[in-house]
Structure 1
Amino acid sequence: MTTIDISITGLTNNGRGIAEHDGTTWLVDNALPGEVVRATITNKRRRARRAKSLITLQASADRVVPRCEYFGVCGGCVMQHLSIDGQLRHKQLNVGAALKRHGVTFAVER
């Protein structure tokens, strides 16, 4: 089993951490932006390689205990390890980026 220590810098729409390591983009299951994790490589054949977090070496302040006991097993609750505020920030960034690509700008109110 090959492992890497990797710093997570972003989050995909489906809750995977995004990292750059040795010039390659990695998608890391169970990892959040701002975290450093030790991950095992699960797929090296795609453009963005896949890995799964084994140990969180440095946790995000937005990490919370998932409410669902099956989190990480069934795949139905992919962002329960991210705080509600973290989820809102992530979704606002994604919606804002999508709208900006189409020339729409707006001010976010909370």
Structure 2
Amino acid sequence: MTLEWEQVVVHAENPAALGQWWADALGWVVVHTSDDEFEIRAAPDRLPGLDFVRIGESKKAKSRLHLDFRPDDQAAEVARFEAHGAKRVDIGQGEQAWVVMADPEGNEFCILGERRQP
């Protein structure tokens, strides 16, 4: 049996708006849109993607799954995401090497610190 990781599904009140926000933030391309779905990928033929699917309710609690990003320059990426509309959030993480942020619908994601050299 062979499995290929196709995408991460993100529930959204407004899939097109949130999906476009992420496409702009990551520099990804839109590969599919409909009234209830908006899919983006790093390149049209590159997996996995992010698929934003309509759900009729707003986020109510801490996300059980989130994305982590490892930048070359953490401070610059945090500032870039803040300028793009992301907010820093406190989910009880305390003092850590990563920064927890939230997208416009409140979905948490982390900007990690520098990769440790082996």
Output the TM-score relative to the length of structure 2.
0.28
After TM superposition, the score normalised by the length of structure 1 is: 0.29
